[in-house]
A and B are shown apart, each in its own frame.
Chain A
Amino acid sequence: MADVLHVLDHPAAGAAAPKLAVRDLVVARRYASGEDVLVTDRISFEVGTGEFVCLLGPSGCGKTSILHVLAGLDGPAEGEALLDGRPVEGPGPDRAVLFQEPALFPWLSVRGNVELAMELIGVPPAERAERAARWLANVHLERVADAQPHELSAGMRQRAALARAMAADPDVLLGDEPFGALDAQARELLQDEVQQAWVASEGRRTFLFVTHNVREAVLLADRVLVMSAAPGRLLHEYRIHAARPRDLDDVLVSRVVSEIHGLLRREVDRGVEHEMGR
């Protein structure tokens, strides 16, 4: 494949040891039938400290599985997932995760959810209230802090989940298509808030988000890693140099979006040809 870019030859600029890396990673998914299917094909990439990277690919390409391995929720079938150069051993509050669903704890108020995240990392009780209030204000939920999660809209719930994730003061935020289930307006607001959270961390926090939405990836990321259909491998890497906050009407942004669309279309055609037996 001429257009496959060996990302490992291009480590993130200015990063001594990559914050996150996967090397020759193969992840398998076990189906109810007991059959194991490989969903990625020896994939390798790195994410430097402070980078915002989006992993983009069609459904089923294994991008979520890769994210879960980096989160420590699942193990790799082959290869390795590294955090600061060391193999990921399990989940930890240094890597917060935004799941597809908000995964808020329904027995706690919105504030209670955020404060629990701090309790779990050992923030003294006296500090929790103030820090929770700050994070809830960042995601514009200060007025519903005492509501129960089920009383909020889907978009508000996902923003509360963002506040909870950030309250744990993680080095890494892993996003598993957290915008997927939201309507356009809620999605835009959450995207803004995610970007703000990343910008505010001033290069200290690393964001790796998984998405199948090309525009979203280009709006958010410094780098977009495009994956093939399953078994997923890296097709191409795009660096997005456009200034933030970004606009889809920006010439640079729209050019990259259409390039990626073209790449994915060729990939789909190739997949179809392959399935039809050339």
Chain B
Amino acid sequence: MIAPGIKRGTAELAVLSVLEDGPLHGYEMARRIERQTQGSLRFTLASLYPLLYRLEKRGWVRGAWETSHTGRRRRCYRLTSEGKKKLSPIRREWAELFRALKRLTNVSHA
């Protein structure tokens, strides 16, 4: 189980990463992240929507109402070009952190 503090830090990366594959509405996004992380990362309403609104405010994602084939209106989010640009450095930072942690844990178990 991943501690809430770590999850908070990864939330931005998780959302931007799933949006890289294409536009999604909030519920789809939460389900996809949960599925792809095998339940390790779960978004609640309180963690997902405030984050989406913050990312939208920064201009990294853009939300727009769309009508699905079932006739339902859902607000779909897309990664903007600004968001795409931000994704790589965030990925690099996290990869660096994971490598550092791996080195640390390897050393301490040596």
Q: Decide if A and B are genuine partners.
A: no
Residues of A within 8 A of B (CB): none
